[in-house]
Each structure stands twice: as structure tokens, then as C-alpha cells.
Amino acid sequence: MPRVFELDEMVPEDIVFRYRGEEYLIPGDLDTELVLRLYRMFGDLLAEPSTGDEDDDERNAERIVLKVKEELLAIFQVLQPDMEKLPFGALGIRAVIRCILIALGVIAESPQPASPVRKTPARSRSSKSRRK
């Protein structure tokens, strides 16, 4: 007898985002190409500007954000076809993409999301021992 796999039990349920008292849904099973684009865009959002030209970096960042907003809006419109724009801003966009990638198993959930703020390294123990 053939082995049967119940995909309904393996595919994630729709994903619900709550924001300011409203619920917004996206499908739990997204197209592979779309997921890969989201993954790349998430990396682009977290990346430091690299051209050295402030104007080029700013234009590139704007293009990335606009593309991300278009992709996310299209995803939300699958289950909410009347949605005309995303209800959240830049921080929400980053959080939503991260949550989608975690829910789909593309990235691991970490206790602290990546932050653009750099922390000052702690003093090493060897420098403390030299003071004695």
C-alpha cells in the first residue's frame, strides 16, 4: 500500500498579524519564488549601505523599501483583496517579513532580532588581569 502524507497537517496555517486592534492575514503556504524574494529583501533591509555614495545608498534603500511594500501588500491582498496599503510602517514591515520567514521555517527564531545599533564590545578579562 502506498505511503500517504497529509500535507494539510504539514503546511502552516494562515498567518495572523494583530496591529492596533485589527487582524491581518496572509496565506500560510506561499509560492517558493516569493519566499526566496522575501528572504533576499529581508537581507537587503538589514544590510548596511555599501556604495560609499550617500545619494546612491539612499536611492537604493528607497527602491528596496518600495519593492518590499509592493510584495507585502500583494501577499496581504490574497486574503484581504480590498486592502489598498499596508497598515504599518517601516518597523512593522521588517517585523512582518521576519515573522513570515520564521513561520515558514526559512530562518530560525532568535531571542533578539538583528539590530542596526552596534554595541560597544566589553573589556576582555586579560586587560583586567594586567591591572593587578
Q: Which residue has the higher pLDDT, 114 or 77?
A: 77
Q: What is the pLDDT of residue 109?
A: 85
Which is nearest to 98 in space by CA: 89, 106, 86, 88? 106
Q: Which three cell numbers stand for residue 95?
A: 517585523
pLDDT of 21 > 70? The answer is: yes
pTM, 2 dp:
0.71
How far is the C-alpha of 9 from the C-alpha of 5, rounded, in Å?
9
How far is the C-alpha of 116 from the C-alpha of 48, rounded, in Å?
8
Integer distance in angstroms from the first to the last C-alpha of the chain?
75
Q: What is the pLDDT of residue 131?
A: 46
Tens-place pLDDT, residues 38-68: 999 888 888 876 767 777 878 888 888 899 9
Q: Which residue has the higher pLDDT, 125 or 64?
A: 64
Q: Which residue has the higher pLDDT, 71 or 118?
A: 71
Which is nearest to 24 in space by CA: 71, 98, 82? 82
**Contacts with 72 (C-beta within 8 Å, 6 or more apart), sequence order:** 86, 93, 96, 97
pLDDT of 126 > 60? The answer is: no
Tens-place pLDDT, residues 80-109: 999 999 999 988 998 999 999 998 888 888
Q: Which helix (H) or strand (E) holds 22?
A: strand 22-26
3-state secondary structure of 26: strand
Half-sphere exposure of 48 (CA within 13 A, CB side): 6
